[in-house]
Amino acid sequence: MSDETKTITLTVNGESVTKLVDARTHLVDFLRGELGLTGSHLGCEHGICGACSVRLDGDVVRGCLMLAIQADGATIETVEGLTASDEIADLQENFVERDALQCGFCTPGMLITAAELLREAAPKTREEIREFLSGNYCRCTGYHAIVDAVETTLTQRLEKSS
Amino acid sequence: MKAPKMTYARADSVAQALALLAEHGDDANVLAGGQSLMPTLNMRLSKPDLLIDINRLEDLAGISVEDDAVRIGALTRHAAVQRSPIVAEHLPLIAEAMPHVAHVAVRNRGTFGGSIALADPAAELPACILALGATITVESVRGRRDIAVADFFKGLFETERQPDELLIEIRIPCQRPGTVHAFMELSRRQGDFAIAGVACAAETDGETVTDAKLVYFASEDRPTLAANAVAAIAGKVWSDESRSAAMAALSEDLDPMDNLQGSAAFKLHLQRVLTGRVLDQAIERARAA
């Protein structure tokens, strides 16, 4: 019952996938290498930078801190999936509008983390937004424009729903 | 880097996990949330022959109140502890510490029991459960046993848990009326490893701290209970003088280690500052109660 490889079946961005994986392969190497989903980025590979963030069964997690073999039976969403579903279209527009990215390496992780905050649909101060995004590094923008984009999206969504 | 070659077993029952631990002991690592284990695998700081994945053991997750204590299953995710109304009501010290435990994506996956079993000296939760006098239950094929938290943390990443034992649950006494709590931490970025930190559970009578547990983390090789600092203020009306006395006495309790976060002298200074602040807050809360 202990294996070096195993065939796993999981749902990625709404599609069922069955693949043989090595026990040692982490989830993002699997997504990038086996499925060609290169939106999830690998920065530090030890849980500090947040560029690898993906959704596991609805919650944002570090994709480099989980093995692919553990995702057997799970539902995974990547930035490609969130883009295709239009869930974060407004957030992405505001990122462009506010120049909330320069090199773009951190952006997928920022979007997925911000999507979790936006899902709560509750008013947040800039300080609270900063705290929520504190696990995602950006080395270009100085964060100000990212916080702007998230704040604007949240305000727009709250206005729309009221 | 990438994790080394290893084998993987998913435990579908506690009994199965215990059988694997009995067979492999030190050659196996238990994989719970993996938020500390996975980085060490990716950096090849650990090379287990076998990973025993316990993430499907739903019996080990959950929070309930039993006999004036809160029972937190070892596999309960940090995010669940942070959201728990039971924890907010009965364990306000832990509720206050939770936002400091890493970042949202890590809290969604990391587990309460994992943090206790790992015994990272910079971690918040070992300090909190030491301040609150918790009991830790471990189990192996040899049976189940309870360990008082005062006997649990043995050193740097070392605990009383034996290689064949699995952490099952932590029971923490509910906060009683007349006691107050306070928690403070200094870090570079919210959620990062602490540079200095203290968990405080105090019994007060008006303006007087009658007894307290002051536990310091991110200083020594394990969470440190400060007896001298408490003795310096116990039974005295809170004042600038008793604050200074507690801060001065701390050097008899605490001998911080240098690390990347700062020198020993710097850490002792910060812990002294936090001592004054945390006791100020405890007294404020006692006044308000």
CATH of the domain at B237: 3.30.390.50
Of the candidates B233, B227, B224, which has an alpha carbon nearest to the alpha carbon of residue B198? Answer: B224
Asked if residue B44 is part of any domain, the answer here is yes
Q: Is residue A93 domain-shared with residue A153, that is, in the same domain?
A: yes
Phi, psi of B260 (to 5 degrees): -60, -20
How many Å lie between the alpha carbon of A90 and the closest alpha carbon of chain B? 22
Contact state of A47 with B5 under an 8 Å Cβ cutoff: no
How many Å lie between the alpha carbon of B195 and the closest alpha carbon of chain A? 16
Asked if residue B26 is part of any domain, the answer here is yes
Q: Is residue A97 domain-shared with residue A56, that is, in the same domain?
A: no
Q: Is residue B194 domain-shared with residue B213, that is, in the same domain?
A: yes
Q: Is residue A93 domain-shared with residue A58, that is, in the same domain?
A: no
- Non-local CB neighbours of A120 within 8 Å, separated by 6+ positions: none
How many Å lie between the alpha carbon of B103 and the closest alpha carbon of chain A? 5
- Which residue from A minimizes the CA distance to B51? A2
Give the integer Cα–Cα distance in Å for A90 and A94.
6
- Which residue from B minimizes the CA distance to A68? B8
Asked if residue B1 is part of any domain, the answer here is no
Of the residues B36, B53, B70, the one at which a domain ends: B53
Q: Is residue B69 domain-shared with residue B117, that is, in the same domain?
A: yes
Cβ contacts (< 8 Å) between B106 and chain A: which residues? 47, 62, 65, 135
Q: Is residue B192 domain-shared with residue B234, that is, in the same domain?
A: yes
Nearest 10 degrees: Cα torsion B136, B139, B145, B149: -20
Asked if residue B152 is part of any domain, the answer here is yes
CB B73 within 8 A of CB B63: yes
Of the residues A23, A54, A82, the one at which a domain ends: A82
Give the integer Cα–Cα distance in Å for A47 and B103.
10
Contact state of A60 with B3 under an 8 Å Cβ cutoff: no
**B196 strand-pairing partners:** B186
B1, HSE (Cβ side, Cα atoms, 13 Å): 12
How many Å lie between the alpha carbon of B188 and the closest alpha carbon of chain A? 11
How many Å lie between the alpha carbon of A99 and the closest alpha carbon of chain B? 24
Q: Is residue A9 domain-shared with residue A64, that is, in the same domain?
A: yes
- Chosen for mutation from B13, B21, B50, B104 (greatest number of chain A CBs closer than 10 Å) is B104
**Domain of residue B26, CATH code:** 3.30.43.10
Asked if residue B223 is part of any domain, the answer here is yes
- Non-local CB neighbours of B219 within 8 Å, separated by 6+ positions: B121, B196, B254, B255, B256, B257, B267, B268, B271
Task: Give chain A's domain count.
Answer: 2
Nearest 10 degrees: Cα torsion A110, A116, A121, A126: -40
Look at residue B270 in the predicted model and tell me its pLDDT: 98
**A110 strand-pairing partners:** none
- Domain carrying residue B141: 58-173
Give the integer Cα–Cα distance in Å for A29 and A45.
10
Cβ contacts (< 8 Å) between B191 and chain A: which residues? 131, 134-135
Q: Is the pLDDT of residue A1 over 80?
A: no
Q: Is residue B122 domain-shared with residue B154, that is, in the same domain?
A: yes
**Domain of residue B135, CATH code:** 3.30.465.10
**Domain of residue A131, CATH code:** 1.10.150.120
Asked if residue B2 is part of any domain, the answer here is no
Q: Is residue A71 domain-shared with residue A95, that is, in the same domain?
A: no
Q: What is the pLDDT along chain B (289 residues), one digit of tens a residue?
A: 899 999 999 999 999 999 999 999 999 999 999 999 999 999 999 999 999 999 999 999 999 999 999 999 999 999 999 999 999 999 999 999 999 999 999 999 999 999 999 999 999 999 999 999 999 999 999 999 999 999 999 999 999 999 999 999 999 999 999 899 999 999 988 888 999 999 999 999 988 999 999 999 999 999 999 999 999 999 999 999 999 999 999 999 999 999 988 999 999 999 999 999 999 999 999 999 8
First to last CA, chain B: 52
Q: Is residue B129 domain-shared with residue B165, that is, in the same domain?
A: yes
Q: Is residue B69 domain-shared with residue B95, that is, in the same domain?
A: yes
Q: Is residue A26 domain-shared with residue A68, that is, in the same domain?
A: yes
Of the residues A25, A54, A82, the one at which a domain ends: A82
Q: Is residue A71 domain-shared with residue A108, that is, in the same domain?
A: no
Q: How many CB atoms within 10 Å of residue B155?
A: 11
Look at residue B190 in the predicted model and tell me its pLDDT: 83
Q: Is residue A112 domain-shared with residue A76, that is, in the same domain?
A: no
Asked if residue B80 is part of any domain, the answer here is yes
- Domain carrying residue A146: 88-161
Of the residues A82, A117, A148, the one at which a domain ends: A82
Q: Is residue A146 domain-shared with residue A93, that is, in the same domain?
A: yes
Give the integer Cα–Cα distance in Å for B10 and B8.
7
Which comes out higher in pLDDT, residue A153 or B261? A153
Of the residues B173, B198, B233, the one at which a domain ends: B173
- Non-local CB neighbours of A80 within 8 Å, separated by 6+ positions: A13, A37, A39
Q: Is residue A77 domain-shared with residue A93, that is, in the same domain?
A: no
Of the candidates B51, B53, B71, B72, which has an alpha carbon nearest to the alpha carbon of residue B13? Answer: B53
What is the model's pTM? 0.96
Condensed to tens digits (0 to 9), the pLDDT of residues A9-23 reads 999 999 999 999 999
Contact state of B51 with A23 under an 8 Å Cβ cutoff: yes
Q: Is residue A99 domain-shared with residue A47, that is, in the same domain?
A: no
Task: Give chain B's domain count.
Answer: 3
Of the residues B124, B141, B173, the one at which a domain ends: B173
User: Which residues in A have their CB inside 8 Å of a CB on B?
Assistant: 1-4, 6, 22-26, 29, 45-47, 50, 53, 56, 59-62, 64-67, 69-70, 72, 113, 116, 130-132, 134-136
Give the integer Cα–Cα distance in Å for A45 and A65.
8
Condensed to tens digits (0 to 9), the pLDDT of residues A49-96 reads 999 999 999 999 999 999 999 999 999 999 999 999 999 999 999 999
Of A70, A131, A135, the CB nearest to B105: A135
Contact state of B6 with A66 under an 8 Å Cβ cutoff: no
- Non-local CB neighbours of B258 within 8 Å, separated by 6+ positions: B264
Contact state of A60 with B108 under an 8 Å Cβ cutoff: yes
- Which residue from B minimizes the CA distance to A42? B1
- Which residue from B minimizes the CA distance to A62? B105
CB B282 within 8 A of CB B200: yes
- Which residue from A minimizes the CA distance to B109? A61
pLDDT band for position A3 (50/70/90)?
confident
- Chosen for mutation from A27, A61, A111, A127 (greatest number of chain B CBs closer than 10 Å) is A61
Give the percent of chain A with pLDDT over 70. Answer: 99
User: What number of C-beta contacts closer than 8 Å exist between A and B?
Assistant: 107
Asked if residue B79 is part of any domain, the answer here is yes
Q: Is residue B206 domain-shared with residue B281, that is, in the same domain?
A: yes
Q: Which residue has 């025993």 as its token pair?
A: B52
Cβ contacts (< 8 Å) between B39 and chain A: which residues? 45-47, 65
